[in-house]
Amino acid sequence: MSVLSKLREIAVCLRAGMVTLPYPFEPRPAPERFRGRPIFDGAKCIGCAGCANNCPAREILVADPSQEVRIIKYLGLRCTYCGRCADLCPEQAITMSRDYETATDNVRDLQQHLEIFMGTCTRCGRCFKEPSPLEQMKLKGYRHDDLEHDRWVYASRPFLNGDSVVRDIDIEVEW
């Protein structure tokens, strides 16, 4: 009886076939509408920093080391792949790839670092001066993030100059 039931089980299993995917040995592309990590195209980027100002996770850092050069740095750590940066980008410089195999042993592997020249006036060689202070802030980017320590800096600063900023807040944990 027991042997018969085993045989019946074998028959059921053979009829059902195998559903297990041979994944790590064979590639398995994500579905068409899957949003993976964003890919930044430096050749198209105009450095408007709209992605940085609208990132819900504050993952994109902006810094202006000089008047013409702007650095845009994507950290990729806490990005939820919401796609707002890609939606917002006026030049379609950001595309959401279908790339999900991003496991790594070094967090810095996920970073993307763009150094781009900002648009300057062809006559005077300097950046445009915008009509209103608000537009100036929007276009020039009023954030100056700390690229050394991969942290962003609040636009309005609730701390003094010598104090540490967001990611350096030391919260005491009792062990």
Partner 1 sequence: MNLKRLCQQAFKRSIWVYHANSGGCNGCDIEVLNVLTPYYDVERFGIKLVGSPRHADVMLCQGPASRATARALRAAYDAMPAPKLVFAVGNCACGGGIWHDTYGVIGPVDRVIPVDYYIPGCPPRPEAIIFGVAVALGMVDKKVAPVTFKQLQMPIPRYHPADLRRDGEIVVYEKAEHL
Q: Which residues bind partner 1 (CB under 8 A)?
A: 19-21, 23-24, 28, 30, 37, 40, 42-43, 56-59, 68, 75-81, 99-117, 119-120, 122-125, 166-167, 171, 173-175
What is d(CA 101, CA 93) in angstroms, rounded to the nearest whole number?
22
What is d(CA 90, CA 44) in angstroms, rounded to the nearest whole number?
10
Tokens 């845009």 sit on residue:
72
Q: Which is nearer to partner 1, 1 or 175 (CB)?
A: 175
> Residue 127 in contact with residue 120, Cβ under 8 Å?
yes
Q: Which is nearer to partner 1, 7 or 104 (CB)?
A: 104
CB of 73 to partner 1, least distance (A): 10
CB of 52 to partner 1, least distance (A): 15
CB of 171 to partner 1, least distance (A): 5
CB of 25 to partner 1, least distance (A): 8
CB of 40 to partner 1, least distance (A): 7
Grouping H, G, I as helix, E, B as strand and the rest as coil, residue 94 is strand
Q: Which is nearer to partner 1, 98 or 144 (CB)?
A: 98
Q: Which is nearer to partner 1, 113 or 138 (CB)?
A: 113
DSSP state of 108: G
DSSP-derived secondary structure for 27-81: --PPPTT----EEE-TTT-----HHHHH-TT--EEEE-SSSSEEEEEE--SS---
Q: Which is nearer to partner 1, 34 or 134 (CB)?
A: 34
